[in-house]
Amino acid sequence: MKKGCIGLIVLGVIALALFGWVKNGYNGLVKQQENVETAWAQVENVYQRRADLIPNLVETVKGYAKHESETLENVINARANATKVTIDPANMTPEDLKKYQEAQGEVTSALSRLIAVSESYPDLKANQNFLELQNQLEGTENRIAVERNKFNEVAREYNTTRRTFPTNIIASIFNFGEKPYFQAQEGADKAPKVDFGTSN
């Protein structure tokens, strides 16, 4: 009788320990996954901020460079295409992130071409609204780089945890998938540069 009770107690202790281990591992993964999703929301916010600046920038440039319609349309189209690419952060794949990054890269390229065109218009470069937009856009590009780096950091922390034994067992049981990273584009070892060329 006593041996049976001791056996039940031992089994109970083992079950409680196992439950505690699973619970802690699961909750830790959930918390880190939430951190990844929060970091992703910040990435989207800064890209949205850039998208919101583009219409004013295009209108300002249009006032001084009306015959640059193709360049202006390229910026508008790149922005429109980029806003169509959305990602569910809970289920993002490397392919999703690559597509998102490529769409945003098109915006960066189109903006760079637009700003290069502005060099030919001294009155535009001296326009106060244009200068203000320049400052806001440059600041936004820096914030984009910062938030992308933060996203990569929390994604790396999450991925490391989910691959570490014994948490990898819990990750596998509960389908905690790997999170992709932003990759540096070819020839881009720093923040995307939108050069407004303030020199004469």
Structural domains counted in the chain: 1
Specify the pLDDT at position 197. Answer: 43
Structural domain containing residue 168? 29-173
> What average pLDDT is seen over the chain?
88
Within-domain flag for 37: yes
Closest CA to 194 of 134, 144, 146: 134
Alpha-carbon distances, residue 53 vs 64, 119, 124 (angstroms): 18, 19, 17
Within-domain flag for 198: no
CA dist., res. 121 & res. 115, Å (int): 10
Average pLDDT, integer, range 44-67: 92
Within-domain flag for 56: yes
CA dist., res. 75 & res. 111, Å (int): 6
Within-domain flag for 8: no
Which comes out higher in pLDDT, residue 175 or 194?
Answer: 175
Within-domain flag for 10: no
CA dist., res. 190 & res. 70, Å (int): 28
Residue 165's domain is classified under what CATH number? 1.20.1440.20
CA dist., res. 116 & res. 98, Å (int): 27
- Please determine, for residue 196, whether its predicted confidence score (pLDDT) is greater than 50: no
Within-domain flag for 165: yes
Within-domain flag for 179: no
Q: Please, what is the end-to-end C-alpha distance for the chain in angstroms?
A: 96
3-state SS assignment for residue 18: helix
Within-domain flag for 11: no
- Please determine, for residue 3, whether its predicted confidence score (pLDDT) is greater than 80: no
